[in-house]
Structure 1
Amino acid sequence: MSPQCSVVVCETSQSLSTLRAEMARLRSMLGGDIVQSRPYRIEGSVTSDWRMVERHLDGGDLRSAVPAYSGPLLPQSTAPGVVARREQLELRLRSAILESGSVDLLTTWTRSRSGIGDLDAWEAQWRLLPQGSPLATMSHNEVVRLRIEYGLDPQTGRIARS
């Protein structure tokens, strides 16, 4: 049993040294008043942009939620919980923008990383803009481009025949 205990002790001390290094890194980034030791813990309140967006959406304040959305939540993460939260937040925000009928919000969305290829948003934006508006012309051109890219008829938006 002694060899097994010695391996566990090695693994534990290696894990502890990794933990210490990570906590030191966090302390240097966040400050000693936030990262506490004995036991290691984070003190104080922590905020995040995605929680702010959720709070605005929960409160029905879409005009504050849209500018608070800085982009997809941890876009490089493949952790299932993060992916689910990222997709849920983006879908919720997108749906609210589309339902709003607000050209300003649609324009903000279609200029974002998430909305640049959103055909539904571009079509809604194009429909809401007055004819003759330079933005309407640009929106129409983007609708046509996206329809072609997605294999749809550029005029009708229906599935193109091969």
Structure 2
Amino acid sequence: MLRLLVVFLTSFSLSFLLLWGTDGDATPMFGSINSVIYVLGAMFGALSLAFFNYIEGIMKDVPKKLKMKNFELYSLVVNALTDLKREVISNVLLVVVLLVLAFFAGAFGEMEFIQRLSYTSYWTWGVQSLRGACLLSVIVVVCVQLAGFVTANSLRAEVSMYGE
């Protein structure tokens, strides 16, 4: 959770710094973030479903003989896979929250009363930076999920090698 907070705040700060440093000339980069983030979210959802099923398959591959021979090792493998499944579910929920946040930030930034506030450019840049932080955070979550897939693949290889 702390790592996610650091990623989000760093992304927000870098986005705002980019907008401030260019005096708003980088605004078009942030204008179409929703279309990119929705595609990433859809791909991530499909990948997560496949990954969750892959982990289920690995759990079924863990030999039941191992339970009788070495219960501690069996318990360790099953707990690691269960934790990986929980991480997949929490990552999906996180991406959904980031998608909704990016959508509402974009809608909020386009509201008329925001445009009439003093320091409008700073408000607009803050909203756009929030959208940029959501995009970069989703990319980081996707990368973490892919790293989990590599871990699961290595675990499946170990289970297959020493299975029976």
What range is the shorter-chain TM-score in?
Answer: under 0.3
Q: Tell me the TM-score normalised to structure 2 length.
A: 0.24
Structure with bigger RCO (C-alpha 8 Å, 6+ apart): 2
More helix by share: 2
Higher Cα Rg, which structure: 1
Q: Tell me the TM-score normalised to structure 1 length.
A: 0.24
